[in-house]
Chain A
Amino acid sequence: MSIPHFRYIAPQTLEEAIGLLRMAKESGKRARVLAGGTDLMVQLRAHEITPDVVIDISGIKRLSRVDRMGNEIQIGPLVTHASLATLDLIREYAGVLSEAARTVGSPQIRNLGTLGGNIVNASPAADTIPALVILDARLALRGPEGERILPITDFFKGPYQTVIEKDELLTGVIIPLPSLNGRAVFLKLARRKAVAIARMNLACMLYYDRQKEIFEWVRLCVGSSTPKPVRMTQAEKVLVGNAYTDDVLQEAGRAAAEQMVALSGFRSSTAYKKPVVGDLVIRAVHLAVEKG
């Protein structure tokens, strides 16, 4: 099937790109940003979107940088999954993001697909998002009026819905360096081992104090199971301050399952997902503790 006709522009600077987005917005034209195109091309081919203009930002060099700035690392939105999986800076300070990126699609998809595209596309199954949530990431958005920065959990309105304005670009992902000696785990459950959309994915980071025999802190986020990404706070609460025992783990699993159902209601997939999410939380916590 042929893809719809559109104007294609490839600006080389951020200012140019934002100018183009503003112009499109003001003239009532539908514009779409293209980064790696691994989501966009699929939507174009299916005629799910019919933009008047496609703005290819892949030539804007400063958007593919990764920098350490004080207590934070800043990741440009054009950084690909392949880079996230291999860059030392990410592996060292945001290992769970590396692990998540490694599970995306296939080598071809990881070479093209970007972090920014994964976030802005806002699929509930996006693999990097649970990792970013537990890393407490913030997003920098830039429009004609300047920049705003918001926590990643405030970015999503629902499946494929975000707060980004038509004339805004995602320009950076900011991750605070973990202050505590946490251990992180990323689990992806899919129907096959590659090129597979997550049936569920889960990022978990925690610190278990072996002397005191308690969980000091825990961050858990499960993707593909709630309308928008959230921390599994109820399960976190069960764990924090408690010891690593079967009972506590089971209780945490139950809490996660209940929170998932409370947030997403009963669906045809719930019969499977409810028990599995609990067990996956237990598995992730177990693996994180064993790592430490």
Chain B
Amino acid sequence: MKNRVVGERVARIGIRDKVTGHARYAADLEIKNALVLKVFRSPVAHGRVKKVMTEKAAALEGVAGVFTAADIPGENLYGIINRDQTVLASEKVRFVGDPVALVAAETEEIAEAALKAIEAEITPLPALFDPADAMAPDAPAIHEKGNILFTRKVARGDIEKGFADSDLIIEETYETRMLEHAYLEPEAGVAYRDETGCVVLLVTTQNPHADHAQLVPILNVAPDRLRVIQTETGGGFGGKLDISVQPFLALAAYLLKRPVRMVYSREESFMASAKRHPLKIRMKTGASREGKLLAMESEITADTGAYGSYGIAVATRSAVHATGPYNVPNVSVISRAVYTNNNWCGAMRGFGVPQIAIAHESQMDKLAQRLGLDPITFRLKNAFENGSVTPTGQRLEASVGIRETLKKIRPYYQTFRKEIEANPSRRYDGVRHGVGVASMWYGIGNTGHPNPSSAQMEVDRDGVVTLYTGAADIGQGSDTVLVQIAAETLGLPYERIRLVRADTTLTTDAGATSASRQTYISGRAVQEAALEIKRILTEKAAGLLKVPANMVACEDGVFFPQFREFQKIPFEEVARAGLKKGEKIRGEGVFNPETTSLDPETGQGTPYSTYAYASQVSLVAVDEVTGQVTVKRTVSAHDVGKAVNPANVEGQIFSGVAMGIGMGLFEQFYPNKTKSFDTYLIPTAMDMPEITPIIIEVPEPTGPFGAKGVGEPALIPTAPAILNAVHDATGRWVHQIPADLETIRELISEQEGG
């Protein structure tokens, strides 16, 4: 049967409200009598908290409460993977911006005045801003357990032999920068106690159930005394996986029994939220004369800043993906996440893979050049295929689309080459053009951990179909995709399905909207729930139609026996049949992709049950006078398994390219210096190239309708392709991002100088 909803560009749920400005984000919620919350933050990067004097602030007219660590009813400790972060500092502060005290006041101005009236006695401790210093044996400990948060090793084959057998070895060190997510909507939320005393939070988030799980021990309440509801969310990119305003809202609403609201200014968002881990990557790659990769060794250091957040995931993911999507028989990687007193780093679109891809894709181009192969041919010689074994020893069984992606971009690569050759740069133009290729692979879902999703569906006597999902749509479109999957499975028009989402009281845990996992994992859970409903209804329809169940089909909301299509029964009639008042038909789905934990010494195991693949080619212009790099054209081919909604997939690709241009060319967050978009430059519409998205569908057998994911993959190849194109244009390799004006001008001058 042909798909009717899956694979279609159906209009996104809620899109009209968004484009007309009617969508209500957390900061738009009007809540009567709400107190305004503000946080007093540490002015020092590392210090011991001696005393926090809040009396003067508390005495101000209009201040409802000032809280410190001592006021927290439960545990003053949280963290999504390892718990090391305090809601309000009790003993130590570890970065400039660490929360120390919380103010609740009648107005924003009073709250600001109260912040000024708080005095904190903090004895400064030596602060560390470079992971190398933090790893020194005599370095002061930022956390009790020491400064190395985590080490991940991946070892396969015989690395010594691999290099001994290699005809060509390339070794280089790459550095990436701390980056800000720059979501349009800063952190915000409101909270109140309902009639039963339950604390209700309406908040912008990527994971309401994890928020709930983290907040319950902080408040020390029964789980049903707290409810987290995700509001319309204006982007997250990983930055809204950690709790931000949540504990403050929950605490103040709980203790003061009054509604409260909290909205970060952009400056506070910059200061307080997680950042992308800057990575230092040493990578050594060996290949045979014939162009086969033989060995790859890498040492990765990730600065996780003051707290762990997703540091462990980043160290692991960068290690596991370090070869790129290529067969490399001998691998040795050691990857560390290290504490410093910089802003803490967490999840950001790709968890370390966009960083490591810069290294492996630069290495690939360097090798290709030395071997005299074009970058696509060289990649094709080494790319994974069915049956390939990854560095963690996982045999890839299906949905390995990397070769397809390379083949699809090849004609564009050739066209761009010809265009450049046909238009050599003229005198004083000062512009050189270049073409660059990059590929990537990306494991869908959490690394080596179970990460199930669940969903429920209900049909009532009127034929109203409701889908319940805990998945947070943060703008990427999971609402739409999940409803498409449910509609397709049931044979219903897309508009017929009501959605209840991301509310810890009404829905069950779907896991985080991260790791490009919601379409694949929650999508499959939804599909399972819908299949159960379908089975029940099909049986009922079979009874009504007096045919065997395997003869019954449902399309566009009408059941009919196959080969006797004139005999139709509307969906709602089938639903009603035999149902008593108040009864509903229920279906439930759970999906937990198969993974195994990774061996601590060798990293061997099955970190993910499936991978997405992509290849990209970019045409850039480099202004040799100013050093400015302009991306002119980008063609990005992604194997997504199945594009449930091609428009959504393309949207992700466009945004991934935009974000990658920022990462490659402009962005750098300087701790304690970068305050706002005034100096933190992200690309504008004017900086965007013409983008050609190419969707490739090599179905994943365990995915809903074959689907995998694309959210993070969309970003990953962009910066590496740009850097490789810059090399093509200038003959110079860029080993550090951003490739900004100064970097490029200097590289070009060095070349001219000698």
CB of A286 within 8 A of CB of B745, answer no
State the CA gap A279–B748 with chains docked (Å).
13
State the CA gap A275–B627 with chains docked (Å).
11
CB of B109 within 8 A of CB of A2, answer yes
- Nearest-neighbour CB distance to chain B for A241, whole angstroms, equals 22
- Nearest-neighbour CB distance to chain B for A105, whole angstroms, equals 10
Task: Give B266's nearest chain A residue, CB to CB.
Answer: A1
CB of B625 within 8 A of CB of A199, answer no
Q: Residue B686 at the A interface, CB < 8 A?
A: yes
Q: Residue A91 at the B interface, CB < 8 A?
A: no
State the CA gap A276–B430 with chains docked (Å).
12
Q: Residue A196 at the B interface, CB < 8 A?
A: yes
State the CA gap A208–B745 with chains docked (Å).
30
CB of B681 within 8 A of CB of A192, answer yes
State the CA gap A283–B741 with chains docked (Å).
17
B residues near A275, Cβ cutoff 8 Å? 745, 749
Contact for B428 among A42, A191, A271, A282, CB less than 8 A: A282
CB of A192 within 8 A of CB of B626, answer no
Q: Residue A9 at the B interface, CB < 8 A?
A: no
- Nearest-neighbour CB distance to chain B for A178, whole angstroms, equals 25
- Nearest-neighbour CB distance to chain A for B629, whole angstroms, equals 11
Q: Residue A195 at the B interface, CB < 8 A?
A: yes
**Size bin of chain B's contact surface:** 20 to 34
CB of A272 within 8 A of CB of B745, answer yes
Q: Residue B119 at the A interface, CB < 8 A?
A: no
State the CA gap A283–B427 with chains docked (Å).
10
State the CA gap A214–B498 with chains docked (Å).
77
Q: Residue B70 at the A interface, CB < 8 A?
A: no
Contact for A199 among B267, B630, B741, CB less than 8 A: B741
Task: Give A193's nearest chain B residue, CB to CB.
Answer: B686
CB proximity to A under 8 Å, residues B413-438: 428, 430
A residues near B25, Cβ cutoff 8 Å? none
Given contacts A1-B112, A1-B267, contact A191 B666 (CB under 8 A): yes
Q: Type the 1/0 row for B604-638, where 1 means its CB is closer than 8 Å to any CB of A.
A: 00000000000000000000011110100000000
CB of B686 within 8 A of CB of A192, answer yes
State the CA gap A279–B666 with chains docked (Å).
22
CB of B687 within 8 A of CB of A283, answer no
CB of B741 within 8 A of CB of A191, answer yes
CB of A194 within 8 A of CB of B681, answer no
CB of A283 within 8 A of CB of B625, answer yes
Task: Give B112's nearest chain A residue, CB to CB.
Answer: A2
CB of A196 within 8 A of CB of B681, answer yes
Given contacts A1-B112, A1-B267, A2-B112, contact A195 B741 (CB under 8 A): no
- Nearest-neighbour CB distance to chain B for A201, whole angstroms, equals 12
Residue in B112, B626, B681, B749 whose Cβ sees the most chain A Cβ within 10 Å: B626
- Nearest-neighbour CB distance to chain B for A172, whole angstroms, equals 31
B residues near A272, Cβ cutoff 8 Å? 627, 741-742, 745-746
A residues near B428, Cβ cutoff 8 Å? 282-283, 286-287
CB of B745 within 8 A of CB of A276, answer yes
State the CA gap A283–B429 with chains docked (Å).
8
A residues near B430, Cβ cutoff 8 Å? 279, 283
State the CA gap A282–B626 with chains docked (Å).
12
- Nearest-neighbour CB distance to chain B for A148, whole angstroms, equals 35
- Nearest-neighbour CB distance to chain B for A100, whole angstroms, equals 17
Task: Give B38's nearest chain A residue, CB to CB.
Answer: A1
- Nearest-neighbour CB distance to chain B for A287, whole angstroms, equals 8
Contact for A191 among B109, B265, B740, CB less than 8 A: B740
CB proximity to B under 8 Å, residues A262-279: 271-272, 275-276, 279
CB of A1 within 8 A of CB of B265, answer yes
CB of B625 within 8 A of CB of A193, answer no
State the CA gap A189–B740 with chains docked (Å).
12
With contacts A192-B684, A272-B746 known, what are 16 further pairs, Cβ within 8 A?
A1-B112, A2-B108, A2-B109, A192-B681, A192-B686, A271-B742, A271-B746, A272-B741, A272-B745, A275-B745, A275-B749, A276-B626, A276-B627, A279-B626, A280-B626, A283-B430
Q: Which 10 A-B pairs have the closest CB atoms?
A: A193-B686, A194-B686, A279-B625, A194-B684, A286-B428, A272-B742, A193-B687, A189-B626, A192-B687, A1-B265
**Interface CB pairs A-B, < 8 A, 26:** A1-B265, A1-B267, A2-B109, A2-B112, A42-B678, A106-B684, A189-B626, A189-B741, A192-B681, A192-B683, A192-B686, A192-B687, A194-B686, A194-B687, A195-B684, A196-B681, A199-B741, A271-B746, A272-B741, A272-B742, A276-B625, A279-B430, A280-B625, A282-B428, A286-B428, A287-B428
